[in-house]
Structures are given as C-alpha cells and as structure tokens.
Structure 1
Amino acid sequence: MSLNLSNADISAIIEMALSDHMPFAVIKAEFGLKEGQVKELMRDNLKPGSYRAWRKRVRTFADRRENYK
C-alpha cells in the first residue's frame, strides 16, 4: 500500500479505526481512504491477532447497529 501517509497520519487512522464511535466515512472525509484501504492499512500495521479481533468486533457491531462503520 503506497498512499504517502506520514507515520502520524497512519497512527491517527489506526486510532480512528479502532474507535467504536468513528465510522469509515469520517476517515474517508479526513484522509481520503476507502473502507478497503483502511482495512489494508490496519492489516499491514497491526499484529495478525489484533487485526482479526478488530475485524470481528467491527463485523459484530455492524450486525447489531444500523449505522456502525
């Protein structure tokens, strides 16, 4: 993934993505990344187990809440 993001931007995106109250639309508006790009960035920068736990949490909440991520 080559998006020319600084380390500070990557950290901010990861923090936003890990937040249960920050939808992908906000990340796209601020950084221009689509949902798939955020997932790829997370996969590249988190430990495999952390990435799987994050994806599971996002999927679980998305099934329960209409407007989640």
Structure 2
Amino acid sequence: MKNKIQECFENFTIEQVDRVIRMCWEDRTPFEAIKIQFNLTPNEVVKFMRKALSLKDFKRWRERANNLGHLKHLKTRPQEIMRFKCSRQNLDGSTKGYK
C-alpha cells in the first residue's frame, strides 16, 4: 500500500510539485491554503518537503517555517495581515525578476 506522499509524487505534475514547494517556502502562504489546493495536512507537507528537498535545504526550510510559524498558520497569524503574497509576487506565485 502506497502512502499519500508517494502518491502525490506519482500523481502530481511537475508544475504541481513545484507549486507546493514554492508555497511552502513563501512566508505568507498558510498551511491551510496548501490543504485547500493540494489536500496535504501540515504534517504531510513536512513529509512532502523532506522527500522533495535535499537534507540541507529541508533543514533550512524547517528552521525558517518554525521561526515564522505564526505566519504559516491562520489561527496564529496576526489579524492585520490580509495579503497572502509579497508585493513583488505575481498571482501564479512567480516572483518578478526570478529566473
């Protein structure tokens, strides 16, 4: 029996995998948005990122997500934050000037 993370890598397109990874790295994208779009719980997101990233990059992401965890969960996020993306970011998640 395959686990959900393995099924994600088999069923998601390359673009979907890339989008999940980018959403995880974004400080203002809450885990709830990833759950709505890709049906991955926060624990599954961690497993997904562990499989998708190198060990060094995974550790760096985990440290960043833990330090900014108050932004990654809607319940702990300050009420005054209404935006979900950076001003330099397009709606598709790509950043201006990023290549």
CA distance in 1 between counterparts of 2:36 and 2:63 reads 24
Give identity over the alignment, percent.
25
Which structure 1 segments of 5+ residues have no match? Answer: none
Structure with greater helix share of residues: 1
Calculate the aligned-residue CA RMSD, in Å: 1.7
Deviation readout 1:1-35 (Å, 9 max, x if unpaired): 21221111110000000001101000001111111
Q: Report the TM-score when normalising by structure 2.
A: 0.61
For residues 1-69 of structure 1, what are the structure 2 equivalents within 5 Å? 1-3=6-8, 4-62=11-69, 66-67=76-77
Specify the code of the residue in structure 1 equivalent to 2:16.
Answer: D
CA distance in 2 between counterparts of 1:24 and 1:16 reads 9
Of the two, which has the highest radius of gyration?
2
